[in-house]
């Protein structure tokens, strides 16, 4: 049994954060462990409170896992503070385990999940030791200070992010203007790149999509899939999770983590190599 770890915030509403990650790991048949960086009081309507955990206790949680398990992949989500980011970067750098960084900044409702001073820490400490980073368009803009309007902008921003040392950049196009497709752009350090396209689903139930997508990449990589296959299978996982939503809550509801196992043969992802 492969063991994987999520380092993220708790979402009491169960659709994002640690809860989304562990559900994804379970569905993809890897053993999930977790390091909690913050508690959020949250539901499908928004975040009503955030209680960060001390960086030293984040360290203690991760240390406990590293001392006992052979971990095959690690992901990060909400990290909240520069102190937590630096702790996680130092500790994961020594492990040589694939590290997937979802640079979570704000919740769908607009509440901040990352302190402003922590952006520099992501660039200077975390990305140099990361395998994959998965920003959406606003996150990629914040990390690089560049505005993104066109595909040329996406390529330029990916190049800047690759300069930090991260091996693969996935820029998620969910926030782009295209009404028909959800297209993600993937760039590797060796110059290779490709895009993945699926039909855009008109749904308000997209709470935790970024968490779930990056958790699925982590599970597939941790299970031994090559990086490109892991990314494509994760795109199927999130596409099906949005398609077969559960209609829970009164706001932006969670996605359906059960859908992939039932419908994976039915999901087509269009790949364009470049
Ligand atoms: N409405 C949607 N329909 C289909 N796929 C979506 C939709 N929204 C997001 N996705 C996909 O879900 C994954 C996670 O996206 P997310 O982090 O929410 O990014 P974004 O903020 O760009 O939507 C990406 O693969 C993205 O393309
Ligand atoms: C604890 C926690 N982590 C992450 C998110 C981001 O969620 P989304 O993937 O919808 O942007 C969240 N709302 N709460």
The torsion of the CA quartet 94, 67, 38, 136, rounded to 10 degrees, works out to 40
Q: What percent of the chain has pLDDT over 90?
A: 92
Residue with the two structure tokens 């949005």? 242
In this prediction, residue 174 carries a pLDDT of: 66
pLDDT digits (tens, 9 = 90+) for 71-127: 999 999 999 999 999 999 999 998 989 999 999 998 887 888 888 789 999 999 999
Residue 228 annotated in active site: no
Q: Provide the residue range defining the domain that includes 173.
A: 3-273
Across the chain, mean pLDDT equals: 95
User: Which of 113, 204, 234 has most ligand 2 atoms within 8 Å of CB, for mutation?
Assistant: 113
pLDDT digits (tens, 9 = 90+) for 219-258: 999 999 999 999 999 999 999 999 999 999 999 999 999 9
Would the pTM count as exceeding 0.95? yes
State yes or no: pLDDT of 167 exceeds 90. Answer: yes
What is the CA(70)–ligand 1 centre distance, in A? Answer: 31
Q: What is the mean pLDDT of residues 129-145?
A: 96
In this prediction, residue 177 carries a pLDDT of: 64
Residue 101: CB atoms within 10 Å: 27
CATH of the domain at 215: 3.40.1190.20
Catalytic residue chosen out of the listed positions 206, 212, 218, 255: 206
State yes or no: pLDDT of 57 exceeds 80. Answer: yes
This complex has an ipTM of 0.96
In this prediction, residue 14 carries a pLDDT of: 98
Tell me how far CA of residue 206 lies from CA of 120, 192, 216, 232, in angstroms. 28, 30, 16, 19
In this prediction, residue 107 carries a pLDDT of: 85
In this prediction, residue 94 carries a pLDDT of: 84
Residue 83: CB atoms within 10 Å: 19
Q: How far apart are CA 263 and CA 265, in angstroms?
A: 6
Q: What is the mean pLDDT of residues 168-190?
A: 88
Q: What is the mean pLDDT of residues 259-263?
A: 97
Q: What is the mean pLDDT of residues 269-273?
A: 96
Query: Helix, strand, coil proportions of the chain in percent (round to 5)?
Result: 40, 25, 35
Residue 168 annotated in active site: no
Counting the structural domains of the chain, the total is 1
- The protein residue with its alpha carbon nearest to ligand 1, atom 22, reads 174
Residue 274: CB atoms within 10 Å: 11
CA 137 to centroid of chain Cα atoms: 13
């Amino acid at each position: 049994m492969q063991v994987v770890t999520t380092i993220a915030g708790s979402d009491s509403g169960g659709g994002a954060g640690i809860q989304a990650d562990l559900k994804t790991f379970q569905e993809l048949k890897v053993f999930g462990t977790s390091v909690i960086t913050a508690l959020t009081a949250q539901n499908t309507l928004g975040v009503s409170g955030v209680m960060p955990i001390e960086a030293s206790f984040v360290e203690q949680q991760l240390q406990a896992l590293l001392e006992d398990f052979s971990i095959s992949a690690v992901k990060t989500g909400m990290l909240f503070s520069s102190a937590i980011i630096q702790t996680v970067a130092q500790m994961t750098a020594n492990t040589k385990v694939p590290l997937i960084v979802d640079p979570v900044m704000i919740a769908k409702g607009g509440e901040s999940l990352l302190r402003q001073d922590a952006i520099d820490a992501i660039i200077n400490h975390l990305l140099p030791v990361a395998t994959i980073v998965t920003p959406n368009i606003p996150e990629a803009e914040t990390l690089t200070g560049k505005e993104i309007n066109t595909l040329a902008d996406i390529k330029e921003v990916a190049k800047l992010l690759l300069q930090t040392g991260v091996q693969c950049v996935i820029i998620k196009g969910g926030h782009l203007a295209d009404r028909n497709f959800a297209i993600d752009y993937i760039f590797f350090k060796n110059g290779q790149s490709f895009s993945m396209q699926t039909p855009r689903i008109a749904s308000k139930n997209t709470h935790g999509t970024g968490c779930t997508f990056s958790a699925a990449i982590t599970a597939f990589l941790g299970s031994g899939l090559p990086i490109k296959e892991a990314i494509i299978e994760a795109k199927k996982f999130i596409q099906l999770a949005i398609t077969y939503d559960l209609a829970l809550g009164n706001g932006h509801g969670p996605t359906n983590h059960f859908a992939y196992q039932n419908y994976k043969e039915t999901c087509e992802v269009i790949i364009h190599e470049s």
